[in-house]
Amino acid sequence: MKEIPHIVSTFHILTLAEEATARYLSSILSPFGYHLHITKDFQESIQHIMTEQPSVLIISGQMQDDEGLALLQYLKTHRDYDELPVMFFSDGSEEQELRAFQIGAEDVCSLTTSEVAVRARLRVLLRIAGYRRRISNEKRRLEITVEQRTKELLEITVATVAALEKASELSDEETGDHMMRVAAYSACLAEEMGLDRAMVEKIRLYAPLHDVGKVGVRHEVLKKAGVLTNEEFDEMKQHTVFGYDLLTAAKADDVARNIALYHHERYDGSGYPYNLKKDEIPLEARIVAVADVFDALTTKRRYKEALPPKDALQITCVELGERFDPTVRQALINRFDQFVAIMQQTTGEE
Ligand SMILES: [Fe+2]
Ligand SMILES: [Fe+2]
């Protein structure tokens, strides 16, 4: 039965090979519609892979200095390229074939493989490339949807808090700008600390809800101009527990509930409501605590002026340093310039 030429217009096959192998491969593949782009060395191949994103790679085992195996090794140990299907075209030695498989080549052929078999096996690799591409497109599509949803949720959260603020159900500290800055600062700290992207986004999303429990505190206490009595302060402290209960009833994520309940705990154990210490406090709450205090210090309130960011940094990281997780403090120091930029964007203050 005659083999039908395979029209592969959307496929792009890169071949790293020396003259003789390149010529042979072209002679058995080109008449069947496979277009090969031939490169002659390691660097040129990498460059081509980065810019042209080929579907399949054929590597010759006859390159000088084992450059073929070196390229295979490089690709299979780099996350950006390890999904690119590779056919290794060996020098025929069993040792080299074994080595190529061990490194991770999807298939190995040689001059002893029949032409028909080379083409058939190449088709399998192209199919694999198609599946992998489809999976990665789907993954990207899902990521975009999740990002979109997260953005919507953040907007809903901020709108809810702004509505509460308008209804005077929150103190004058809980402005929409404060929420947005605490979200941005917290995400920035989480990122600097190397938390994974999903966690960073959760923290960004839920940080604005840290004081949502204040809706459960009596108006007189919340809006009192003078110093709170001990009883009033005890009532105020309850906003952490109210917030937790509210978010639990709303079936909110653990990250949201932890932030509400523990954002006033202090690293040295002097916080509330449970006097937790160090690692007993969930990381997300330790992060939001720093963001919250930095913002409180750098904004003007009814009873105090705004401090310059450098002074706020000194207070948060040194003077009151004991209260905060040292790794979060270090993250603040590392990202200080970004904090200042966030601050200037939303307050317009220097
Ligand atoms: Fe609070
Ligand atoms: Fe706050």
**Domains of the chain, earliest start first:** 13-136 (3.40.50.2300), 168-347 (1.10.3210.10)
Please say if the pLDDT value at position 4 is more than 60: no
Gap from CA of 90 to ligand 1 centroid (Å)? 66
Of the pLDDT bands very low, low, confident and very high (cuts 50, 70, 90), residue 349 is: very low
Check if 214 is active-site. yes
Residue with more model confidence, 269 or 176: 269
Residue 217 in 3-state DSSP?
coil
Kindly identify the ligand whose nearest atom is closest to the C-alpha of 290: 2
Which one of 214, 224, 277, 278 is the catalytic residue? 214
Q: 211: closest CA among 279, 285, 275, 155?
A: 285
Residue 245's pLDDT is 93
Report how far residue 302's alpha carbon sits from residue 295's, in angstroms, rounded to the nearest whole number.
15
Gap from CA of 280 to ligand 2 centroid (Å)? 21
Residue type, 322: E
Report how far residue 271's alpha carbon sits from residue 325's, in angstroms, rounded to the nearest whole number.
13
Residue with more model confidence, 62 or 154: 62
Mean pLDDT of 238-244: 95
Gap from CA of 96 to ligand 1 centroid (Å)? 65
Which residues neighbour ligand 1 (ion) by CB within 5 Å?
Answer: 211
Query: pTM above 0.85?
Result: no
**pLDDT over 70, % of the chain:** 92
Gap from CA of 217 to ligand 2 centroid (Å)? 15
Q: Phi first, then psi: give them for residue 225, nearest 5 degrees.
A: -75, -40
Gap from CA of 181 to ligand 1 centroid (Å)? 15
Q: What digits encode the pLDDT tens for the residues 180-238?
A: 899 999 999 999 999 998 899 999 989 988 998 988 888 888 888 788 899 999 999 99
Residue with more model confidence, 333 or 12: 333
DSSP state of 208: G
Kindly identify the ligand whose nearest atom is closest to the C-alpha of 176: 2
**pLDDT over 90, % of the chain:** 67
Mean pLDDT of 25-44: 92
Please say if the pLDDT value at position 149 is more than 90: no
